[in-house]
Amino acid sequence: MLICMRTTILLPDELYRATKTLAANEGRTMTSLIEEALRTRLAGVDRERVPFRIDAFDGGGARPGIDLASNADLLDRMES
């Protein structure tokens, strides 16, 4: 048996309209859209997060100018 809690949330007008539009475009309810967003956030999943990547290799070895023996050089490239 699924038990649900009814609640009221206050949303800024523009967020309400965007949520309502997205839900309608996807053929679903606002409740299901908000529930999915909350479950995703609570699970620690961040869809906007992109895994860090440094392009040190071009397939044939290290890219020109990259010193793989130098931690300082690699750190400088990761920070830029």
pLDDT confidence of residue 46: 56
**Per-residue confidence band for 18, with pLDDT thresholds at 50, 70 and 90:** very high
| Per-residue tokens: 19 | 């949520």
Q: 21: closest CA among 9, 12, 33, 35? A: 33
Average pLDDT in the 20-31 region?
94
Q: Residue 55 and residue 63: Cα distance in Å, rounded?
A: 8
Average pLDDT in the 1-7 region?
79
| Per-residue tokens: 21 | 């539009």
Q: Residue 10 and residue 16: Cα distance in Å, rounded?
A: 9
| pTM over 0.85, yes/no | no
Average pLDDT in the 30-47 region?
84
Each domain of the chain, given as residue ranges in start order, spans 13-42
**Per-residue confidence band for 54, with pLDDT thresholds at 50, 70 and 90:** low
